[in-house]
Structure 1
Amino acid sequence: MKIHFLGGTGTVTGSKTVVELNENRILIDCGLFQGIKSLRELNRQPLAIEPSTIDFVLLTHGHLDHCGWLPLLVKNGFKGKIFCTAPTKQISKLILADSAKIQEEEASKANQEHFSKHNPAEPLYTVADAERVTPFFRVIEPNLEVKLTDDCYFKFFPSAHILGACSIELHAEEKTLIFSGDVGQDDDVLMHPPQKPKSGDYIFLESTYGNRLHPQNDVLFEVEKIINTTISRGGNVIIPSFAVERVQTVMYLIWQLRLQNRIPNVSYIIDTPMGIRVLDVFNDNPKWHKLNPHECEEMCRMFTMISDYEDTINAIYDKRPKVVIAASGMITGGRVLSYLERYIDKPENTVMLVGYQAEGTRGRKLLEGAKEVKFYGKFYPVEAEVVLVEGLSAHGDQKDLLNWLSELKQKPQKIFLVHGENEAADTLRTKIFDTYGFDATVPLLGQVVEI
């Protein structure tokens, strides 16, 4: 058996791992690279393994860095099946359509305003390409064994990261392989705790926060303080947010604060068409989260939902203080760019970051104190206050990741640390050995390991 590390190694994006058996190839996740240009350019490179030779895709969840390359996989010859949970199928369809639409719009804008080095600028894939993925999806319930071949089967088990997110237990050639996908926090605001693996010969564990612990601050108080401070000086709070789960988590916290009259009665806006559609996914899948239907309805009622871009423009030029939640979470695209173009250079405003900011993204640059930021070929001075609320991450921290390994009944032969920047992964490697005595390693991008 060979393991091909084609993405999500040395970085938190582009997750792609191929398990090569005697006659079959199984791809675990199929994500887009995001962040620095050298990584983004990998999205346009051919896959090291011919897509037509891949028999199955096992999809852990619907975030772009795990499903965003599927349109190109299909476009380049994949004819197999894509297994996932019901919420993951719903979310992936939304994410892929939104990703394609943004790429088409940005390519069009680049061609009109001539700020791209490419002439013409072209999207990585189109909306039509994204739609061609849907027929390949096969929905699977968690904890149900699914036979792939005579001697190979798998099952999903919940990982608590977002709606529908699961880890994978794969049995092949008398070996058990565990792929964590992204692991959520044990005490997440909306998600149930992750299910832990009981045994595994080889474990592929994410390491996004492998070198960090989330602060034990009162997140509700942090959000309250940020909103009140900004509104009191006549500013706007702009919250770049991932449309799946993070938008809903921030909504929930703000709703709780309003119920307790701890924040002012100003406009609270959701400006992410996909985030609004994800609310329907929440309502369709109550067993996957903690909110009941009544709470979902009450929470949504306090927000102004914006879908039309004309309404976005009106909101931007409305001089009254407001709180806006808009995608994308790492400020790589989407509606939030339009707000920041207008607000980033005004000191009364606040940009509230609520999740992981990958290397090379605008969010990471703001977090690291950048004095200017580039949108659509132009630089804007950063005068707005930039704050990070760490406790809202959908990723577990080092303690959560170590705890995820705590119920293993026997020592695995090897743990591969993926989906993390090198320092985070290497710190977790050491911590795993010190805690459990397990042998862990950090694979390289493009590495092939025989097991």
Structure 2
Amino acid sequence: MIIKFLGGCDEVGREAFLVKDNNTNVLLEYGVELQPEILLPLIPNVQVDSVLISHAHLDHSGMVPLLYKFQTPNLFATPATLDLMNLLLEDYIKVGKITRNYAEYTKADIMKMNKHAIPQGYNKRFKVGNLQAEFFNAGHIPGSASMFVSGSKNVLYTGDINTIDTHLVRYGTQKYPKLDCLITESTYAGREHADRKLEEKRFVEKIKEHGHGLVMLPAFAVGRAQELLLMLQENNIKREIYLDGMGQKAADIILFHKDYINDAGKLRKALREVNFVRTKKQRNKILREGGIVITTSGMLNGGPILYYLNKARDFKDACLLITGYQAEGTPGKKLLETGYFENEEMRFKVNIEIQRYNFSGHAGGTELLNLIKKANPKKVVCVHGDNTKKFANDIKSKLGIEAIAPKIGEHVEM
């Protein structure tokens, strides 16, 4: 078995790993890096038999339709992932045409991709060419999966994984097969998350402090927006709550795939009580009257949050509460570091309170090490992180397991 790394090495974005074994070529992920510039993974130099996608976020799925311009592999993902992928991929085309006057693929390519899509649930073996595969719940977002591939060797790719239960999704207890190789995400390797319950308490207290003002909650459309809705409901926040941007459509899809979330009834109730925002007139009303608005995008690189932030940047009783990962080079990261919002079109000082909260959908450093220890593979490959080499050294020294941090274009043979 050979694993070639086409992307996602020592970076967070453009995940793509090609598994070659038993005359079968399986591609795990085919994503895109969005910030600070668009970066694509390497193009596979072989005919790909099957593509396996762990979850819908674009750094894992964003370039899948591009493959269908020149080949037609089967596509395997959970039903929730396939529907959420379609939402995000169509939005990628739309944003690309607006911001760059270009997109790498078309809706026709997405339609072609869908014709070759085969939904698969958790904990059930399925054939991919001459190999076997299986999905395990990864606890990251609804439908997210860790992906197991078995041939001459056994390999598991964690995908984005969160072993701590959230309001929206539960990781539960996963029992993995015996592994020759574990490919692990490393987003928070070497770092620990704050206690989630204490962080949530701090977050709710801050919202209550701004009881009559505007509370802006930028959020990823898939996963985080719905998590925040549930969090506000669970903490009995008695204010007008608004949901703006693509999180609305994502919520409908997630609710349709109710088997992939903790409590469909609670999400359904939260969506009944929230106010959906669809017009500029509604946004201006929120700016005048205040309230809590959950809106895309999570890293402030687009979406309605830009309108709210620009208009409310000098409000006396407004705050911006950032709850998600901020990649290097994104407007959200720059704002946290400098106090200025900056993108290609505008730059301005933000004179309202800005706070950051850690509600990560990724396992922290200790959780990753515990996961690796429990899985007990012969070899670990560290990807999807900014400091994978250090993480590989930590795994070797703390767990005594062989670990590497490959570069893009390299391969390992087992």
What TM-score, normalized by structure 1, do the two folds share? 0.85
Shift of 1:346: 4.3
Name 2:284's counterpart in structure 1: 314
- Relative distance call for 1:315 and 1:440 in structure 2 (3 A) is farther
- Counterpart position of 1:442: 405
**Secondary structure of 1:71 counterpart:** helix
Residue 225 of structure 1: aligned partner:
205
1:178 aligns with 2:151: no
Q: Does 1:370 align with 2:338?
A: yes
- What is aligned with 1:400? 367
Partner in structure 1 of residue 256 of structure 2: 284
Cα distance in 2 for partners of 1:82, 1:304 equals 36
1:131-151 CA distances to partner (integer Å, 9 max, x unpaired)?
A: 44222211112111112234x
How far residue 251 of structure 1 moved from its aligned partner, in angstroms, is 0.3
Residue pair 2:331, 2:343 contacting (<8 A) in 1 also: no
Q: Given the alignment of the two structures, is residue 200 of structure 1 paired with residue 184 of structure 2, yes or no?
A: no
3-state SS of paired residue (1:35): coil
> How far apart are residue 200 of structure 1 and its match?
0.7
Q: Which residue of 2 aligns with 1:420?
A: 385
Q: Which secondary structure does the structure 1 equivalent of 2:67 belong to?
A: helix
What does the per-residue CA deviation read over 1:108-160, in whole Å, with 9 as the maximum and x for residues that have no partner? xxxxxxxxxxxxx323444444344222211112111112234x111111111
Deviation of 1:22 (Å): 5.5
Which whole-Å CA distance do the structure 2 matches of 1:375 and 1:340 have between them? 13
Residue 33 of structure 1: aligned partner: 33
The CA distance in 1 between the partners of 2:4 and 2:316, in whole Å, is 48
Query: Residue 242 of structure 2 contacts residue 274 of structure 2 at CA under 8 Å; is this kept in 1?
Result: yes
**What corresponds to 1:116 in structure 2?**
none
Aligned AA (2:117): F
Q: Check conservation: 2:218, 2:297, Cα contact below 8 A.
A: yes
C-alpha displacement at 1:215, in angstroms? 0.6
Kindly state the Cα deviation for residue 191 of structure 1 after the two structures are TM-superposed: 1.4
Instruction: State the aligned residue count.
Output: 412
Conserved? CA contact 1:101–1:126, under 8 Å = no
Match in the other structure for 1:212 = 191
CA distance in 2, matches of 1:348, 1:376: 28
Distance change in 2, residues 1:248/1:153 (3 Å):
same
Which ranges of structure 1 fall in alignment gaps of 5 or more residues? Answer: 108-120
Tell me the alpha carbon deviations over residues 45-92 of structure 1, each in whole angstroms, 9 at most, x when there is no partner.
8x3424x721110111111111111122223x1211110111111111
Contact 2:219 2:295 in 1 (8 A): yes
Match of 1:87 in 2: 80
Structure-2 separation of matches of 1:131 and 1:237: 39
Map 1:239-254 → 2, pairs under 5 A: 239-254=217-232
Matched AA of 1:371: G
Structure 2 gap segments, 5+ residues each: none
Return 338-347 or 83-92, whichever deviates more.
Answer: 338-347
Q: Return the match for 1:158 from 125, 134, 137.
A: 137
For 2:86, the aligned partner's letter is: K
Deviations 1:158-208 (A, max 9, x none): 111111111111112x21011111111323222122524242101100010
| CA distance in structure 2 between the partners assigned to 1:90 and 1:405 by the alignment | 30
| Structure 1 position 20, deviation (Å) | 2.3
Measured against aligned partners, the alpha-carbon deviations of 1:321-354 in whole angstroms (never above 9, x if no partner) come to 2211111111222222222222235464222111
Structure 2: distance between partners of 1:328 and 1:196: 35
Partner Cα distance (1:240, 1:247) in 2: 8
Tell me, yes or no, if structure 1 residue 74 matches structure 2 residue 68: yes
CA, structure 1 residues 122+347, in 2 after alignment: closer, same or farther (shift >3 Å)?
farther
The letter of the residue matching 1:62 is A
- Aligned mate of 1:96, from 89, 93, 101: 89
Deviation at 1:228, TM superposition (A): 2.0
8 A Cα contact 2:301 2:343, kept in partner: no
- Aligned twin of 1:133: 113
Q: In the aligned structure 1, how far is the partner of 2:412 from the partner of 2:264?
A: 45
1:250: how far off? 0.4
Q: Which amino acid aligns with 1:419?
A: H
Q: CA deviation at 1:27?
A: 0.7
Q: Does the CA contact (< 8 Å) of 2:327 and 2:333 recur in 1?
A: yes
* Cα distance in 2 for residues equivalent to 1:377 and 1:353: 22
Q: Counterparts of 1:136 and 1:324 in 2: how far apart (Å)?
A: 38
Q: 1:55 to 1:224 in 2, by over 3 A?
A: same
Aligned equivalents of 1:431, 1:221: Cα separation in 2: 32
Between the aligned partners of 1:101 and 1:312, the Cα distance in structure 2 is 23
Q: Which amino acid aligns with 1:101?
A: K
